[in-house]
Structure 1
Amino acid sequence: MGIIILLIVGGVIGWLASLIMRTDAQQGIFLNIVVGIVGSVLAGLLLSPVLGTPPVTAGVISLSTIVVSLLGAVVLLAAVNLIRRGSIR
């Protein structure tokens, strides 16, 4: 059940991040899920200990974990845009 929740939350977070970064037209649902999950994991490893929130991969879904995961997905999309185009949009 945890994997299904992670996929759903990752998809929503990836979709929101792609809307924020204006890359939604270029991505499909699969890439939204991948960006959301990878961004969540990276933010969980890097930002969660600093902010004192549990990562979304721990199974705790709260407002703070979603905000940290969304921030990680946005940073991941910005890095991908920077590498791909040379600019962050």
Structure 2
Amino acid sequence: MGYIAWLVLGALAGWIASMFMGKDSEMGAFANITVGIVGAFVGGVIFNLIGASGVTGFNIWSIIVAVIGSCVLLYIVNRLKGNESTKE
């Protein structure tokens, strides 16, 4: 996947995850892209561990994997920071 596609996928996944986790107002575009790209990696690792395919390109499945990974990443970061403002 090209760099532009990674940025678009990261921005989309990070933005969706930040809305799910109640962090949308606290995060800007750069944070959304970063969380989305790292979340895609985290989601890929998680899905590979359970025997499913991870990020496979720019498609719906990859967006779902990236959003799930981004939500996991935001949850872990919030717990490490001691921030209880996540929606549970």
Same fold (TM over 0.5): yes
Query: What's the % identity of the aligned pairs?
Result: 34
- Is 2:80 the counterpart of 1:83? yes
Q: How many residues align?
A: 86
Unpaired segments of 5 or more residues in structure 2? none
In the TM superposition, 1:6-85 aligns within 5 A as: 6-56=6-56, 60-85=57-82
Asked if the contact 2:47–2:54 (Cα under 8 Å) also holds between the matched residues in 1, the reply is no
More helix by share: 1
Give the alignment's TM-score, normalised by structure 2.
0.84
Shift of residue 47, structure 1, vs aligned partner:
1.4
Alpha-carbon RMSD: 1.8
Cα gap change, 1:65 to 1:51, in 2 (>3 Å): farther
Shift of residue 86, structure 1, vs aligned partner:
4.6
The AA in structure 2 aligned to 1:62 is: N
Residue-by-residue CA offset, 1:37-83 (whole Å, 9 max, x unaligned): 00101111231352422424xxx223222211110000100111111
